[in-house]
């Protein structure tokens, strides 16, 4: 037991808390094209030409316009960068991986699918080298570069045509992440899960994409808000944002607000819940600002979820564009080891007093 406690103490001192992994699935963000850079969930992606996401001709994921607009092929590149979305500075990430799928187009004819190369860059844009990758199962970029923190990486397609379906990573502790629905495709769903955030509402959710009527963002189908009932949260409707892990520094941005019926801005209620879903209360807000800092309204308690509740008697409407937050660190390995030792000591004490 003494050895156990000593080992736990060393592990506690050496361990660095890590946030839960972020998984950005490009197959679930609707269909759209982006000529510059698409940012979401702390990841920016830029293509050597326009990126086509979920193009119906090539299957789900990211393709690059060029020889085959529905695939990623023939020397095309995709550059991925990791960002702190609030401070707008590049940051490093660990445990980085990707998933690719085979797409229609050229192939080198061998039995190895989705061949490509990746050059990774560490802090300060220092190259970590180039490695070859292939396959349609999850591929660990971090493992190929010795686990070094990665600030960005560049994928270069080989003759095999592929599509990039998702990127996953563990953000550095304290990194702020923004999950957004305003600059992507248009679609509907009873629940919408993006990068660990789950949206649900009092009715079907409607995500408006680029060029969608009423702008881009999330609304609840039904209601009467400003003549855009399916685009907004209005007239007694609710929209819940739930975090996979407790989150701090929570804020959200309205991509649009409609039909404000009272002076002083859009009026609505905001309810929040802490760890183990403990209710933290409800506040009534009236604001002309498009950004709402949620955490300070609830004493900066880490949140498990919050609920936007429009006034049942009003006609104000708003549209959820994005949510920013800092994931709470996962329990460190040393903490778990110390807990195991404590439980062992407790069992030993019970045994001695029998």
Which of 127, 150, 174 terminates a domain? The answer is 174
Both 221 and 163 in one domain: the answer is no
Which of 115, 150, 174 terminates a domain? The answer is 174
User: Tokens 């955490």 map to which residue?
Assistant: 295
Separation of alpha carbons 131 and 125, rounded Å: 17
Is 337 a member of any domain? no
Is 228 a member of any domain? yes
Both 154 and 198 in one domain: the answer is no
CATH number for the domain that contains residue 160 = 2.60.120
Separation of alpha carbons 350 and 354, rounded Å: 6
Both 161 and 218 in one domain: the answer is no
Is 86 a member of any domain? yes
Phi and psi angles of residue 3, each rounded to the nearest 5 degrees, phi first: -65, -40
Is 296 a member of any domain? yes
Both 33 and 168 in one domain: the answer is yes
Is 353 a member of any domain? no
- 13, 129, 244 from 345: Cα distances, Å: 20, 48, 32
Both 269 and 311 in one domain: the answer is yes
Both 163 and 184 in one domain: the answer is no
Is 15 a member of any domain? no
Specify the pLDDT at position 258.
56
Specify the pLDDT at position 301.
97
Both 254 and 133 in one domain: the answer is no
Specify the pLDDT at position 341.
46
Distance, CA of 6 to chain centre: 38
Both 92 and 37 in one domain: the answer is yes
Specify the pLDDT at position 214.
58
Is 233 a member of any domain? yes
**Joined tokens for residue 69:** 């607009």
Q: What is the pLDDT along the chain (354 residues), one digit of tens a residue?
A: 444 444 444 343 344 455 689 999 999 998 999 999 999 999 999 999 999 998 766 679 999 998 888 899 989 999 999 999 999 999 999 999 999 999 877 676 677 889 999 999 999 999 999 999 999 999 999 999 999 999 999 999 988 889 999 999 999 999 999 999 988 888 999 999 999 999 999 999 999 866 666 568 999 998 776 567 788 888 889 999 999 999 999 999 998 755 555 566 788 999 999 999 999 999 999 888 889 999 999 999 999 999 999 876 666 788 899 999 999 875 543 444 443 444 343 443 333 333
Both 183 and 143 in one domain: the answer is no
Residue 115: how many CB atoms within 10 A of its CB? 18
Specify the number of domains making up the chain: 2
What angle do helix axes 333-352 and 2-14 make, rounded to 10 degrees?
160
Both 73 and 115 in one domain: the answer is yes
For the chain, count helices (H), then strands (E). Answer: 3, 25
Separation of alpha carbons 253 and 257, rounded Å: 10
Which structural domain range is residue 199 located in?
Answer: 178-327
Report whether 116 contacts 89 (CB < 8 A).
no
Is 239 a member of any domain? yes
Both 118 and 252 in one domain: the answer is no
Angle at 48 between CA 43 and CA 51, to 5 degrees: 60
Which of 118, 147, 174 terminates a domain? The answer is 174
Both 131 and 209 in one domain: the answer is no
């Amino acid at each position: 037991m003494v050895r156990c406690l000593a080992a736990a103490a060393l592990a506690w001192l050496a361990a660095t808390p890590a946030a839960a992994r972020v998984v950005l699935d490009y197959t679930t963000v609707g269909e759209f094209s982006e000529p510059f850079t698409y940012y979401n969930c702390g990841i920016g992606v830029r293509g050597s030409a326009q990126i086509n996401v979920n193009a119906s001709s090539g299957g789900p994921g990211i393709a690059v316009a060029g020889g085959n607009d529905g695939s990623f092929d023939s020397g095309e590149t995709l550059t991925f960068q990791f960002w702190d979305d609030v401070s707008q500075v590049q940051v490093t990430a660990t445990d980085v991986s990707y998933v690719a799928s085979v797409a229609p187009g050229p192939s080198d004819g061998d039995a190895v699918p989705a061949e490509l190369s990746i050059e990774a860059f560490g802090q300060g844009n220092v190259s970590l080298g180039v490695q070859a990758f292939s396959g349609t199962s999850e591929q660990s970029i971090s493992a190929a570069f010795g686990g070094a923190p990665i600030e960005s990486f560049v994928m270069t397609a080989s003759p095999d045509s592929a599509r990039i379906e998702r990127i996953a990573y563990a953000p550095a502790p304290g990194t702020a992440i923004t999950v957004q629905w305003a600059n992507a495709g248009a679609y509907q769903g009873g629940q919408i899960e993006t990068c660990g955030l789950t949206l649900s509402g009092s009715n079907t959710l409607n995500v408006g994409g680029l060029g969608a009527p009423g702008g881009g963002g999330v609304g609840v189908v039904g209601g009467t808000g400003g003549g855009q009932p399916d685009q907004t949260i209005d007239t007694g409707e609710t929209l819940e944002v739930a975090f996979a892990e407790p989150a701090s520094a929570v804020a959200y941005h309205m991509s649009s607000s409609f039909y404000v019926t009272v002076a002083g801005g859009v009026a609505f209620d905001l309810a929040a819940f802490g760890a183990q879903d403990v209710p933290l209360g409800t506040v009534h807000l009236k604001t002309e600002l498009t950004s709402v800092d949620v955490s300070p309204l609830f004493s900066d308690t880490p949140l498990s979820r919050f609920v936007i509740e429009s006034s049942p008697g009003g006609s104000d409407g708003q549209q959820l564009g994005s949510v920013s937050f800092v994931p709470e660190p996962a329990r460190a390995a040393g903490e778990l080891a110390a807990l195991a030792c404590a439980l062992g000591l407790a069992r030993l004490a019970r045994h001695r007093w029998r």
